């Protein structure tokens, strides 16, 4: 999967919850060892886990490889994550 040209699609391959290969990545919004928020060709993608790190990133080709323990993978439509964050902070500071 890595080394292939970006073809406008999106794929992910999870191996034993320890290695995640993705393509179709357009942007990395947030990255730390417990949470990764990405923009993909198919919408927003949030990955939760432990001790995660980027083994490979090439945004020109849309490629990303993550190592670490993956606990969850959630897709949302473009903008849904930001809407939820704004709603939470708006309620918090009222």
Q: What is the pTM of this model?
A: 0.74
Domain ranges in the chain?
11-92
Residue 63 pLDDT more than 70? yes
66 against 91, higher pLDDT: 66
Distance from C-alpha of 70 to C-alpha of 74, rounded to nearest angstrom: 11
CATH topology of domain 11-92: Immunoglobulin-like (2.60.40)
1 against 37, higher pLDDT: 37
CA distances from 55 to 20, 26, 46 (A): 10, 17, 18
- DSSP 8-class letter at 6: P
Let me know: does 53 contact 19? Beta carbons within 8 Å.
no
């Amino acid at each position: 999967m890595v080394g292939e040209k970006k073809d406008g699609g999106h794929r992910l391959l999870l191996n034993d919850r320890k290695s995640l290969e993705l393509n179709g990545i357009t942007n990395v919004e947030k990255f730390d060892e417990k949470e990764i928020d990405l923009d993909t060709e198919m919408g927003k993608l949030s990955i939760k886990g432990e001790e995660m790190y980027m083994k490979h990133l090439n945004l020109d080709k849309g490629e990303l490889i993550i190592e670490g323990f993956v606990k969850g993978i959630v897709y949302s439509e473009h903008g849904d994550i930001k809407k939820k964050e704004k709603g939470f902070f708006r309620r918090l500071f009222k």
